[in-house]
A and B are shown apart, each in its own frame.
Chain A
Amino acid sequence: DAGVTQTPRHEVAEKGQTIILKCEPVSGHNDLFWYRQTKIQGLELLSYFRSKSLMEDGGAFKDRFKAEMLNSSFSTLKIQPTEPKDSAVYLCASRLGTNSGNTLYFGEGSRLIVV
């Protein structure tokens, strides 16, 4: 089975641009997560979808970040407009269901640099 696929792997954007990151979860998984990873803050939850419904929107990230799940096999994270402080690795993860013991499967991440 394919794992979690994220595209692009690398992106360089100018300040003020709109960026769309993409994620394909593991087939059959019902939960999907977006995280931002930086050296200073570590892993921060951006959004959590359960069966395509948004369950958590990461509070502090509402302003310029919007995650969508148009169908069960595809999600996007839009950052608009980008700022230099958005430079980070964006990780997508999926899990089978809401059982707390279910393993998270991560993509390799999208590395964003905003100049």
Chain B
Amino acid sequence: AQSVTQPDARVTVSEGASLQLRCKYSSSGTPYLFWYVQYPRQGLQLLLKYYSGDPVVQGVNGFEAEFSKSNSSFHLRKASVHWSDSAVYFCVLSAGSGTYQRFGTGTKLQVVP
């Protein structure tokens, strides 16, 4: 069975601080993993994706994520957050050609002054 869990519904971080958003996955095959971001009143946009190779993958706006097969995790990180990073972040799993993507429940990030 394929599933994605984002254990934190909300995260509040001070501007300039570092960030980690957690994601755990379950997949019977080799997964594609994605992080998407949704800004208020907008659709979702791709931040980054991973399939193979270097377990640390770089994305847009200074985001990166680290894949861990042993921990079944794909956590999102940023060294220094900006107020404009306030949004909802979705971890997404895709496994198997032709299948649709499974979305986590999302983590709402609030960046405070």
**A43, A56, A109 interface centre (most CB from chain B within 10 Å):** A43
> Bound complex: CA of A99 vs CA of B94, how far in Å?
9
B46 — which chain A residues lie within 8 A by C-beta?
103-104
B90 touches A108 (CB 8 A): no
Check if A59 is an interface residue, CB within 8 A of chain B.
Answer: no
Residue of B45, B97, B105, B106 near A99 (CB, 8 A) is: B97
Check if A65 is an interface residue, CB within 8 A of chain B.
Answer: no
Binary A-proximity of B2-43 (CB < 8 A = 1, otherwise 0): 000000000000000000000000000000101010000111
Report B3 CB to chain A, min CB distance, Å.
Answer: 13
Count A/B pairs, Cβ under 8 Å: 49
B62 — which chain A residues lie within 8 A by C-beta?
none
Check if B95 is an interface residue, CB within 8 A of chain A.
Answer: yes
Check if B51 is an interface residue, CB within 8 A of chain A.
Answer: yes
B98 — which chain A residues lie within 8 A by C-beta?
50, 55, 98
Check if B96 is an interface residue, CB within 8 A of chain A.
Answer: yes
Given known pairs A100-B94, A101-B49, the reply for A106 and B43 (CB within 8 Å) is: yes
B43 touches A91 (CB 8 A): yes
Binary A-proximity of B73-94 (CB < 8 A = 1, otherwise 0): 0000000000000000010101
**7 extra interface residue pairs, beta carbon distance < 8 Å, beyond A55-B100, A104-B46, A108-B43:** A4-B43, A42-B103, A43-B106, A56-B100, A91-B43, A101-B94, A107-B43
7 sampled A-B residue pairs with Cβ under 8 A? A43-B106, A91-B44, A98-B98, A100-B95, A101-B49, A101-B94, A103-B34
